[in-house]
Amino acid sequence: MLDIKLIEKKGKEIGEKLARRGKIVGLSQLFKLIKARKNLVLQLQSDQQILNIESKSLCNATSIEIGQKRTLLRTLSRCIKKNEEKQRDFNRRIQNLLLSLPNIPLDEVPAGNSEKENQEIKRVNKPRIFNFKVKDHVELGESIDGFDFKRAAKISGSRFVFLRGSMAKLNRALLNYFLEFHSNFGDEEMVPPFIVCENTMIATGHLPKFKKDVFEINHVEKPYYLIPTAEVPLTNYYAYEILDSTQLPLRLCAYSPCFRSEAGAAGKDTRGLIRQHQFEKVEMVRFVKPKQAITELNLMVERASKILSELGLAHRIVSLCAGDLGFSAQKTIDIEVWLPSQNIYKEISSCSIFGDFQARRAKIRYRKNIANKKKGKVDFVATLNGSALPLGRTLVAILENHQNIDGSVNIPKVLWPFMGGLKKLNKQII
pLDDT in tens, 315-334: 999 999 999 999 999 999 99
Catalytic residue among 93, 123, 275, 316: 275
Checking if the pLDDT of 364 tops 90, the result is yes
The arithmetic mean of pLDDT across residues 369-386, rounded, is 83
**Is 114 noted as a catalytic residue in this protein?**
no
**Is 20 noted as a catalytic residue in this protein?**
no
CB 259 within 8 A of CB 281: no
Catalytic residue among 231, 393, 400, 408: 393
Q: In what order do the strands lie in the sheet with 242-244?
A: 242-244, 365-367, 378-380
Map out the domains of the chain with their CATH numbers: 4-100 (1.10.287), 115-429 (3.30.930.10)
Convert the pLDDT of each residue in 221-254 to its tens digit: 899 999 999 999 999 999 999 999 999 999 999 9
Catalytic residue among 20, 159, 251, 260: 260
The arithmetic mean of pLDDT across residues 26-50, rounded, is 93
**Is 393 noted as a catalytic residue in this protein?**
yes
CB 387 within 8 A of CB 350: yes
Q: Cβ contacts of residue 258 below 8 Å, gap of 6+?
A: 227, 228, 229, 230, 278, 279, 280, 281, 390
Convert the pLDDT of each residue in 156-171 to its tens digit: 999 999 999 999 999 9
Catalytic residue among 350, 352, 387, 408: 350
CB 222 within 8 A of CB 252: no
**Is 303 noted as a catalytic residue in this protein?**
no
Burial code (b: 16+ CB inside 10 Å, e: under 16) for 393-427 equals bbbbbbbbbbbeeeebbebbebbeebbeeeeebbe
pTM: 0.92
Cα(308)–Cα(175) distance, rounded to whole angstroms?
Answer: 14
Q: In what order do the strands lie in the sheet with 195-197?
A: 195-197, 223-226, 216-218
**Is 361 noted as a catalytic residue in this protein?**
no
